[in-house]
Chains A and B, each alone.
Chain A
């Protein structure tokens, strides 16, 4: 797991400034629960997760109670103004390593403390190997509405490089099982740019995913993160990461194949069959919404205050059980940082960022990037900066220029 950013110390009781609490409920509000456990660790993964035998995995036994304790703290901290959750998202790790009963207890715990807004979106991530029809039915029954399955690839050789254990075809089967269980929204995650993956491999993965007819697809470029097994293999010369041109080709292939299949991007990594299939929880991250992230290493944002929890499950659990905030640090970004975040997150979205939140320099830069073909002309004319296909591949410099 990459080092967390430096921040300021958070108060022990987790109390938030008045200003942050004002307007709570006027912005989207969601809850995130981090489940930091996996059956095995994949070579590319640098997330905050623990496999059996590791010290952090020992915390699995009291985990559900600890999350409930943090939810108590969340309720106390947000006070009576706390709105009902419009979205809930269980991420990990592998949330479905937990028994359906545990996931149900956690969702019930949220319902008791905050309530679920009508039509709330309730997602859990899942490993295709860790779900079956019975479990899916139980989750649907408990109130889960959306399933996000880690497929990654349809090609055995690529899956082997990624250390993924599921057999080809299993993710697609899981989509069908989820549909049968009554899930309205089912998403598949794919990874491109794995060392050794060919253009045909990627094409085959996209086709296989589309065949399962999910309403949502996420496509991520594989990043070799320092400290992972993959990074060591690359360093030793056993694997060669793809070139910039290859990554660009994969990205463009995804664009063409998915668009031809009737999906549209609404966020740089996310595709959906329509607005109804958008992941509203993730949109909250990108749109300046409020959310409380419970669990080790989870990030939260309420009214301009960002904080992140202690990474290690033991340290996190000890603090929430003692009724204290598990926050490792918090920060209140200044105006300049807020603008950078706004531009950075807005440019990820198909809806883009409003030109009138930019400075004069930022608007001048936008005009230049429009001329350079990195921003959509129609949206620019309508007062918004929206990245073109080429622009999405060059999002970092455009972000810095527009935030200027």
Chain B
């Protein structure tokens, strides 16, 4: 059991691509936690997807021993956290497991929205911040300007900001010394009943759920009877230990330490992120504050392209749910797309990741419908209906009010883009929440926006309009009533459930017109004219037609080469299978996502 005064728990806060994982790699290397031989880039990002995308999805918590210049060996726990807005709750729990944080800012890019958001989370959690300018080895580095921004953000003297390169290792030693000197050691009561914060978890198919824990008070031992307080779940400690960076079992973990705990339970929902673990008997009375149930915010229908894959798809979702407590799903039966699942996600990145994992790790071919948010509908009779699928929107006659989730967006941008961003935000039904200058050139714009607009194309539009210079972060601020209507799309006269969407009534006409146009581009010519209509209720607001093609024949059939032509036809038949038959109309998969491209046609 280590002396708490020798422990330093910290995480690294950085915008994507600002060098968080590379800095972590250097720290592992310089503390000889990993031999140079075993070193590979982004060592802590173990998921294939994380390496490919250069992002962190799951947290890591690695123990390293650092012998400081004062000759004393300290025990560091480096908690590597996801940085994306979808995972804000996980980030907040990870930060709560620390006493300090390295604030890493790319010396050429400057402070970004994600940096600000996570910095505020860290400040809220009472963490000691050690600011660092990274990538100073790059030619475009502007340490002075960026130091000014960082100083503005955290209110510290620019002189105190460390200048480092995670790539070359320059300045990293000073940072490690700073961690010893500035980050306060944990001060839990080791004699109190145990309280361990679960800040992340993962699922191992052989061992079950591996909970990542920070011991706040007391001691937890192998074999001990424990209780997860929010889930009210009882278990025994099968194994307890720390990461170095591989799992290293120990007899016990004590207040101040960071590690993992395995009970053999197979359901990730029983050891929830944010929950407190204590002893089953004579345990703690009060849980660590801050726990909340995870709510999916973004929904989409996922359907197997081959209907026969449906059982495999269900299995895959079940397995993935073991690993990801935030993934919600329920069966969905679409007239157009057949049997699938309506899935709920934390956000767009989470949705992307889940879909990619399903296709990659479970070898499924899936098609996705347009993402939407969850609406809350209050009926005239007082009933409250939660709507996760636009096609489930009740008949307007019985509706008293529709409420939709709003976010508070923080947009960091060079000042020359203020005008275009304000225009965009207003177009997206935003209400300004003010702005503040981060430096002479950079501004933080605050807007309240409907999440539905973010889910569509807000981020792409923002990037396009600011040439990629603006960054966005947001938090959910609750539901607000909006005058929303359900917009249906009819193909050849029949409404297609998978194409329905819920839009603001003032924008319905515009969106209907653009959507029918986009669908006309996406749906190939067929044997008959295909009318495409957009409708609100029985009122048609836009119409386009895919003209019938006039020719579809591979005429040549010289000699007796009949096999070849037959095989060409058989291949055509396979190609048709990849289209969805909606009534008589063959609809390619990408048509179901046409609404995501509406912004494009507008900016043309």
Contacts and interface: CB of A to CB of B under 8 A. Distances in A.
Contacts of A5: 563-564, 567
Interface string B55-69: 000000000000000
B552 A344 contact: no
B527 A372 contact: yes
Contacts of A299: 559-563
A269 B564 CA distance: 18
Contact of A396 (B528, B553, B558, B561): B553
A344 B569 contact: yes
A268 B553 CA distance: 11
Nearest to A387: B553
A331 B566 CA distance: 12
B563 A394 contact: no
Q: B549, B561, B565 — which one has the most chain A CB atoms within 10 A of its CB?
A: B561
Interface size class of A (residues with CB under 8 A): 35 or more
A247 B527 CA distance: 16
Q: A5, A245, A293, A308 — which one has the most chain B CB atoms within 10 A of its CB?
A: A5
B553 A293 contact: no
A393 B553 CA distance: 6
A220 interface: yes
A337 B566 contact: yes
Nearest to B576: A400
B566 A285 contact: no
Nearest to A252: B550
A159 interface: no
Contact of B551 (A300, A301, A393): A393
Contact of B549 (A2, A369, A394): A394
B1 interface: no
A249 B528 CA distance: 18
Given A340-B570, A344-B569, A400-B572, A308 B552 contact: no
A251 B552 CA distance: 13
B553 A394 contact: yes
B72 interface: no
B557 interface: yes
Contact of A269 (B551, B552, B555, B572): B555
A397 B548 CA distance: 13
B37 interface: no
Contacts of B557: 285, 345, 348
Contact of A7 (B553, B562, B563): B563
Nearest to A337: B566
B554 interface: yes
A223 interface: yes
Contact of B552 (A91, A223, A285, A397): A397
A248 B566 contact: no
A331 B527 CA distance: 32
Contacts of B555: 220-221, 223, 268-269, 395
Contacts of A374: 527
A396 B560 contact: no
Interface in A306-341: 306, 308, 331, 333, 337, 340-341
B559 A394 contact: no
A303 to B, nearest CB: 14
B563 A306 contact: yes
A392 B572 CA distance: 17
Contacts of B553: 268, 392-396
Contacts of A4: 564
B556 A344 contact: no
A80 interface: no
Interface string A1-44: 01011010000000000000000000000001010000000000
Contact of A397 (B527, B561, B570): B527
A298 B567 CA distance: 18
Nearest to A343: B569
A5 B356 CA distance: 35
Contacts of A269: 555
Interface string B487-500: 00000000000000
A291 interface: yes
B602 interface: no
Given A220-B555, A337-B566, A340-B566, A291 B560 contact: yes
A399 interface: yes
B552 A306 contact: no
B61 to A, nearest CB: 55
Nearest to B549: A244
Contact of A293 (B527, B560, B576): B560
A248 B562 contact: no
Given A269-B555, A393-B551, A331 B560 contact: no
Given A223-B555, A268-B555, A399-B569, A300 B560 contact: yes
A59 B557 CA distance: 27
Contacts of A348: 557
Contacts of A34: 559
B552 A394 contact: yes
Nearest to A89: B559
A247 B566 contact: no
A188 to B, nearest CB: 16
Contacts of B567: 5
B604 interface: no
A300 B566 CA distance: 15
Nearest to B565: A344
B539 interface: no
A340 B570 CA distance: 9
A374 B553 CA distance: 13
7 contacts: A221-B556, A223-B554, A223-B556, A268-B555, A394-B550, A398-B527, A400-B569
Given A345-B557, A392-B553, 19 more contacts: A4-B564, A223-B555, A244-B551, A285-B562, A298-B560, A299-B561, A306-B562, A306-B563, A308-B563, A337-B566, A340-B566, A345-B562, A348-B557, A369-B527, A393-B553, A394-B550, A396-B553, A396-B572, A397-B552
Interface of A: 2, 4-5, 7, 32, 34, 47, 91, 220-221, 223, 244-245, 247-248, 251, 268-269, 285, 291, 293, 298-301, 306, 308, 331, 333, 337, 340-341, 344-345, 348, 369, 372, 374, 390, 392-400
In the A-B complex, the 10 residue pairs with the smallest Cβ-Cβ separation, listed nearest first, are: A299-B560, A395-B553, A248-B550, A393-B551, A5-B563, A396-B552, A5-B567, A5-B564, A285-B560, A396-B553
